[in-house]
């Protein structure tokens, strides 16, 4: 991805398998969000391609990619502030409902999910699973950041995605909420969802990810298991050994 004469992302090659959690970490400004924007269709790559289950979606718009099964959250919260929590999540479900006959939905992400559930019932189950049922009728604009991030996640899950892009989702969560969030990610992956996680909470990344890529100055400088990444001197020098990497 080039912005004028600046090469923001170069030769980034990522694969996220169904049922896997892949971490993408690196310093601020490394190109992580730009990579997400290219995958989700918010920005068009200068070169290269994006494939979803073998289908080239490089020329497909962001809204169409969502309908095909690519969902995301944002580094800067993107919620409908004047709508309630329930209404925000319903929006995600409506995208899926309108295309259900044309595009197979992603994996069933809730243990209680079945074909007989109405969209409204599934939304209530999502709110319950993310432990925000008590906020269902609250305006999202009045919620603390941690709660609003869970609303954004619930909305993304409501489309039953095949690939979920999470951009710093633990930002604003307290320790208990982060532990619950880690368990939820593992549960979603176990159900068959592919997850690409950008996160500065390094302990969280090391706990839930089976594979991690490290981005620095727009290029991947290392890829490996959590143990391999933690012991990689190049990564330690570029990120993990810094105050930012160690403390989020």
Number of H helices, E strands in the chain: 10, 10
Q: Read out DSSP for 191-247?
A: TT-EEEEE-S-HHHHHHH-SEEEEEETTEEEEEE-HHHHHT-HHHIIIIITSHHHHH
- 62-119 per-position pLDDT tens digit: 988 988 889 999 888 788 889 999 999 998 888 766 555 444 555 555 554 555 678 8
Closest by alpha carbon to 129, among 180, 72, 73, 189?
180
- Beta-ladder partners of 51: 56
Helix (H) or strand (E) holding 165: strand 163-167
Strands 219-224 and 211-216: antiparallel
In this predicted structure, the answer to whether residue 205 has a pLDDT above a threshold of 70 is: yes
- 14-71 per-position pLDDT tens digit: 999 999 999 999 998 899 999 999 999 999 999 999 999 999 999 999 988 988 889 9
Band (247; pLDDT cuts 50, 70, 90): very low
pLDDT at 121: 86
Band (146; pLDDT cuts 50, 70, 90): confident
Residue written as tokens 């993310």?
130
Alpha helices in 158-236 (DSSP H): 175-190, 202-208, 226-230, 233-235
Judge whether 205 and 23 are in contact, CB under 8 Å: yes
- Cα dihedral sign, 186-141-73-119: positive
* CATH code of 96's domain: 3.40.50.300
Judge whether 75 and 112 are in contact, CB under 8 Å: no
Residue 143 or 99, more confident: 143
| Mean pLDDT computed over 140-167 | 92
Band (200; pLDDT cuts 50, 70, 90): very high
What are the structure tokens assigned to 174, written together?
């307290």
Phi/psi region, residue 221 (left: phi>0; alpha: psi -120 to 50; beta: rest), is alpha
Residue written as tokens 């620095």?
216
Structural domain harbouring 236: 2-247
pLDDT at 208: 96
Which residues, 6 or more positions from 75, have their beta carbon under 8 angstroms from its beta carbon? Answer: 33, 167, 168, 171, 198
What is the domain count for the chain? 1
What are the structure tokens assigned to 205, written together?
């990344």
Rounded Cα gap, residues 21 and 38, in angstroms: 19
In this predicted structure, the answer to whether residue 230 has a pLDDT above a threshold of 50 is: yes
- Percentage of the chain modeled with pLDDT above 70: 89
What are the structure tokens assigned to 163, written together?
């690939």
Q: Read out DSSP for 117-161?
A: --HHHHHHHHHHHTT-GGGTTSBGGGS-HHHHHHHHHHHHHTT--
Q: Using DSSP, state whether 210 is helix, strand or coil.
A: coil
Residue written as tokens 């189950």?
125
Band (248; pLDDT cuts 50, 70, 90): very low
- 159-187 per-position pLDDT tens digit: 889 999 999 998 888 888 899 889 999 99
pTM for this structure? 0.86
Band (243; pLDDT cuts 50, 70, 90): very low
Give how far Cα 132 sits from Cα of 81, 84, 152, Å.
Answer: 16, 12, 11
Band (246; pLDDT cuts 50, 70, 90): very low
């Amino acid at each position: 991805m080039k912005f004028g004469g600046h090469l923001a992302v170069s030769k980034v090659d990522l694969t996220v398998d169904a049922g896997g959690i892949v971490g993408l970490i690196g310093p601020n400004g490394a190109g992580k969000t730009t990579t997400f924007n290219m995958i989700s269709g918010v920005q068009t790559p200068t070169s290269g391609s994006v494939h979803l289950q073998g289908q080239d979606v490089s020329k497909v718009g962001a809204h169409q990619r969502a309908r095909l099964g690519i969902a995301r959250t944002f580094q800067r919260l993107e919620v409908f502030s004047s709508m309630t929590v329930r209404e925000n999540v319903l929006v995600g479900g409506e995208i899926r409902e309108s295309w259900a006959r044309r595009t197979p939905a992603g994996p069933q992400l809730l243990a209680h999910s079945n074909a007989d559930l109405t969209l409204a019932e599934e939304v209530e189950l999502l709110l319950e699973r993310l432990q925000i049922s008590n906020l269902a009728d609250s305006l999202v604009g009045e919620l603390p950041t941690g709660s609003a991030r869970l609303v954004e996640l619930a909305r993304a899950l409501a489309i039953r995605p095949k690939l979920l892009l999470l951009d710093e989702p633990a930002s604003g969560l307290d320790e208990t909420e982060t532990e619950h969030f880690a368990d939820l990610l593992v549960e979603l992956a176990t159900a068959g969802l592919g997850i690409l996680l950008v996160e500065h909470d390094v302990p969280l990344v090391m706990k839930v990810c089976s594979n991690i890529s490290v981005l620095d100055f727009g290029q991947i400088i290392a890829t490996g298991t959590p143990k391999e990444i933690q012991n990689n001197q190049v990564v330690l020098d570029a990120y993990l050994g810094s105050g930012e990497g160690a403390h989020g």
